Amino acid sequence: MSVIYLLISISIIVAIGFFIAFIRAVKTGQYDDDYTPSVRMLFDDELIQPKVEKSNIESQETL
Amino acid sequence: MTFVPGKMSKVMDTQNCFHCGLDIIKEDEIIFDAKNFCCNGCKTVYEIFSINDLTCYYDFEKSPGATPQDINGKYDFLDNESIVSKLLEFQENSTAIISLSIPHIHCSSCIWILENLQRLQKGISTSQVNFPEKRVRITFNPEVVSIKTIVYLLSSIGYEPYISLENYETGSNDVDRSLTYKLGVAFFCFGNIMLLSFPEYFEVKEFWLDQYRGFFRWLIFALAIPSFFYSASGYYVSAYKSIKTKMLNIDIPIALGIVVMFVRSTFDIVMDYGSGFFDSLTGLIFFMLLGKMFQIKTYSFLSFERDFKSYFPIAITKINSDLSEESVAIYEVEKGDRLLIRNQELIPVDGILISEKAEIDYSFVTGEAIPITKQSGDKVFAGGKQIGKVIEMEVLHSVSQSYLTQLWSNDVFQKNVEQKHKTITDSISRYFTPILLLIAFAGFGYWIFIDANTAFNVFTAVLIVACPCALALTAPFTFGNVLRILGKQKFYLKNALVIEQLAKVDTIVFDKTGTITTNKKSNISYEGTVLSDENLLLVKNVLRASNHPLSRMLYDYLPIPILQSKSGNEAKKLKVDHFEEITGKGIQAQIFGHQVQIGSADFVEKIEEKNVQQTSVHIKINTVYYGKFIFNNQYREGLEELFENLKSNYQIKVLSGDNEGERTILEQLLPKGTELIFNQKPEQKLEFIKNLQEQGKNVMMVGDGLNDAGALAQSNVGISISENVNVFSPACDAILDASEFQKLNYFLKLSKNAITTIKMSFGLSLLYNVVGLSFAITGNLLPLVAAIIMPLSTITIVSFVTVMSSYYARNK
């Protein structure tokens, strides 16, 4: 049953790994602004739209 | 054509500008690309976007834009290398980073367009918006594009950056993230300890659990150490400070509880008595830090500590002896220098006017919107804004010695306001701490005669269970919630302390100009026969020649008539013959063969009933009376109602820097018993507040301009009314958006209710303490009981205060 020692140790080490990741994220300023990224992630899809529209229009104009 | 039909019809219905959303004045309407614009500026921005394929700017939010302002010459100082290098955050050969504050950032469209700047300007590689701080961080190649170009680009699309002395020499400032770290550590420890504590909760006698008990306990102990020593360190420091200053605050019993809990738990583990209270200990630290975070997070982006630095530009144009112009940093301006002040520029130092005439708007300093005319040789003071032509002036004092800056050397600005008041939690803990210690020692004294071991247990158990975590959480969560509710309604408080002070207020002092009246220039209305375009043109041209403040305001207000005359656009400027300005009466002129008279009612020989409330300018063309333009000294909407509601609970006083001209109107408008005091200089306002305070009053000052700055700082609560929350407000405790002015009474009521909520939840948490203490004093406090009571009390208290404060907020 000494496997418990091993398992608990591993789980603690994994937890510490995540904890270090968190500290680094804070240090690089990822927690300074918690609003803008939530808006930014929605933008990429919108970028394509105008091009499609424009090509439609151009084709209409050439008619 | 590139338009979405649905959006188009909406624009047509409301007749708002497609770009900025303002009402379109019929004469100025510009139709471009089948969209309506209110002015050329807005149209140009749209053009820039559509050329660059960026029109989905308009998809995220309806009419998100702002009209670009004329900035010609305003940013010339960005040519000056030494100034620029101080603004940059980072600079190397081909990479530079600048962080600019842009007050207009307000919606997702703004984020989108500002993060796509690289598509508008070569040389910009990335740009990133920080929305809560309203800043954009631009990485660019200084060899390809200069800061000036970027600033001009931003201004041309309606996002003029706000560069002031405040930015100067700040560079990259370090952000304090220690609370986030502490919270992270506390949560890490708390979560893991909770998991490892589970076997102990069930207390089953099982072989393998007994076998590993020691291992689990020591692991828990190890995990508790960072939380105890690092996360909770703020409480020890605060408790130590409070003992030193002999003011018992809430952190003493907290720190005492934490330390006792840690010592006893360690003792338990070492002696193998039990598992200790490490789960409750770390949980408590975590929840208290969470409360702190919640309270701090609210409005960090609004600056309440603005002094003159944030009002002043960084640089100014200096005229050298060889008549060449040069941008110099404001601090380098010396006595005797000649400065060039452009339209809309702020005069940074006191000086003497060299140019023939200047119109100076002191609304910054006095709150008075009508500009003052100065002649050559007159003294001009720092803080005024030049309106109209370019002027030259000679410097009399350097920045630090100017009149305006000296106002800041007054004592009130040096005082640490935080220390003025005792918070509600601290005043309760003044009684709480001694009583707690009394109970602990009484329990100890009783049990010591029966069993020394139990006595020790009882003593520590009392201190542990009475640790006022729920008490300490009440205020942060209530105030945090109230701050958030108020912020949503555009009333921004500096910190939670302000709520407590608001609840104590018994006297309210209002400034008049700019506070209970509005500064907006659109208060001009016209009554009478409609003026034809030709007549409008005549009036406008006559007004142009006049320097009277009213003429200037009217001139700015009148639209430029679009005339399809023979000579085209040139016809707009007509030659004025026989211009005559009669002081105190009006102006008359011969223009284009017409006789135009503009002035007071007597002047145009119009007899009408005296109406004191109006300042008006009458128009008479070729002996025909047309009508009058009325300059309303407009009081804010809902003013009467607000004062009516306030007068039952508060003493109301109105201070004004103006003369007594408005007294009769104000007396009619405001409820009886309102004290009106006129002709008050900034220092007198400050004295007035001080006198009231010496009479034992809790004074709230509501003001706007820099002239109120002293009074705002002196008062118990200083509220600054602002038309644009992001730009100008003197140092104060709270900033109120002008459009929400009439809600002031509601805000005051809400803060009172917040205090009531806190008192109620204090009662609730004391009840928990009594229950916990009865366990502790009888020597029955098991770790499991502590583990249940502590989180339970925390959660009920937090939800109670959140529900209560939200309920009060809805109750108008």
Q: What is the mean pLDDT of chain A?
A: 73
3-class state of residue B488 by DSSP = helix
User: Is CATH 3.30.70.100 what the domain over B76-167 is classified as, yes or no?
Assistant: yes
pLDDT digits (tens, 9 = 90+) for A48-58: 444 444 444 44
Burial class, B163, CB count within 10 angstroms (exposed 0-12 / middle 13-18 / buried 19+): buried
Q: Report the candidate in B443, B437, B466 with the shortest Cα–Cα distance to residue B455.
A: B443
CA dist B676 and B667 (Å) reads 8
CA dist B366 and B363 (Å) reads 5
3-class state of residue B623 by DSSP = coil
CA B334 to chain centre: 33
How does residue B308 score in pLDDT terms, banded at 50, 70 and 90? Answer: low
- What is the structure's pLDDT at B422? 62
Q: Does B449 touch chain A (CB under 8 A)?
A: no
- pLDDT exceeds 80 at position B434: yes
How does residue B169 score in pLDDT terms, banded at 50, 70 and 90? Answer: low
Interface-testing mutation among A6, A30, A33, with chain B (most B C-beta atoms within 10 A): A33
- What is the structure's pLDDT at B176? 72
How far does the CA of residue A6 sit from the closest CA of chain B (Å)? 12
CA dist B548 and B554 (Å) reads 10
Contact A4 B212 (CB under 8 A): yes
Of A4, A33, A50, the CB nearest to B132: A33
How does residue B103 score in pLDDT terms, banded at 50, 70 and 90? Answer: confident
- pLDDT exceeds 70 at position B240: yes
Domain ranges of chain B: 5-60, 76-167, 178-297+425-478+753-810, 492-518+636-744, 524-632
Q: Does B133 touch chain A (CB under 8 A)?
A: yes
Tokens of B160: 């003029």
ipTM of the shown complex: 0.75
Higher pLDDT, B368 or B129: B129
- What is the structure's pLDDT at B496? 75
- What is the structure's pLDDT at B305? 53
Q: Is the dihedral of CA B243, B248, B250, B256 positive or negative?
A: positive
Half-sphere exposure (Cβ direction) of B150: Cα atoms closer than 13 Å: 34
- pLDDT exceeds 80 at position B580: no
Residues of A in contact with B219 (CB under 8 A): 8, 12
Interface-testing mutation among A10, A26, A28, A45, with chain B (most B C-beta atoms within 10 A): A26
pTM of the model: 0.69
CA dist B599 and B529 (Å) reads 16
Of B108, B111, B184, the CB nearest to A22: B184
CA B582 to chain centre: 44
Higher pLDDT, B285 or B361: B285
- What is the structure's pLDDT at B78? 77
Residue numbers of B between 94 and 113 with CB closer than 8 Å to A: 108, 111-112
Residues of B in contact with A33 (CB under 8 A): 130-133
CATH superfamily label, B492-518+636-744: HAD superfamily/HAD-like (3.40.50.1000)
- pLDDT exceeds 50 at position A38: yes
- What is the structure's pLDDT at B9? 38
- pLDDT exceeds 60 at position B319: yes
CA dist B72 and B69 (Å) reads 9
How does residue B625 score in pLDDT terms, banded at 50, 70 and 90? Answer: confident
Domain ranges of chain A: 3-62
Mean pLDDT value of segment B58-85: 74
Contact A15 B208 (CB under 8 A): no
CA dist B334 and B799 (Å) reads 60
- pLDDT exceeds 70 at position B10: no
Of B60, B130, B211, the CB nearest to A33: B130
Q: Where do runs of H (alpha helix) occur along B115-247?
A: 147-156, 178-202, 207-226, 233-244
CA B212 → CA A4, B195, B196, B268, B274, distances in Å?
9, 14, 11, 16, 14
- pLDDT exceeds 60 at position B571: no
- What is the structure's pLDDT at B574? 63
Q: What is the mean pLDDT of chain B?
A: 76
- pLDDT exceeds 80 at position B770: yes
Range among B343-347, B426-430, B750-754 with highest mean pLDDT value = B750-754
CA B172 → CA B166, B368, B727, distances in Å?
13, 37, 21
- pLDDT exceeds 70 at position B215: yes
Looking at the DSSP bridge assignments, the partners of residue B354 are none
- pLDDT exceeds 80 at position B157: yes
Interface-testing mutation among B7, B107, B108, B208, with chain A (most A C-beta atoms within 10 A): B108
- pLDDT exceeds 70 at position B363: no
One-letter amino acid at B177 equals R
Collect all residues with Cβ–Cβ distance below 8 Å to B611 and sequence separation of at least 6. none
- What is the structure's pLDDT at A10? 92
How far does the CA of residue A41 sit from the closest CA of chain B (Å)? 10
How far does the CA of residue A33 sit from the closest CA of chain B (Å)? 6
- What is the structure's pLDDT at B731? 66
Closest alpha carbon within chain A to B188: A19
- What is the structure's pLDDT at B165? 62
Which residues of A fall below an 8 Å CB-CB distance to B?
1, 4-5, 8, 12, 15, 19, 22-23, 26-27, 29, 31-36, 39-40, 42-43, 46-47, 49-51, 53-54, 57
User: Is CATH 3.40.1110.10 what the domain over B524-632 is classified as, yes or no?
Assistant: yes
- What is the structure's pLDDT at B185? 93
**Secondary structure (DSSP) of B694-741:** HTT--EEEEE-SGGGHHHHHHSSEEEEEESSTTT---S-SEEEEGGGG
Point out the least confidently predicted range of B564-568, B612-616, B775-779.
B564-568
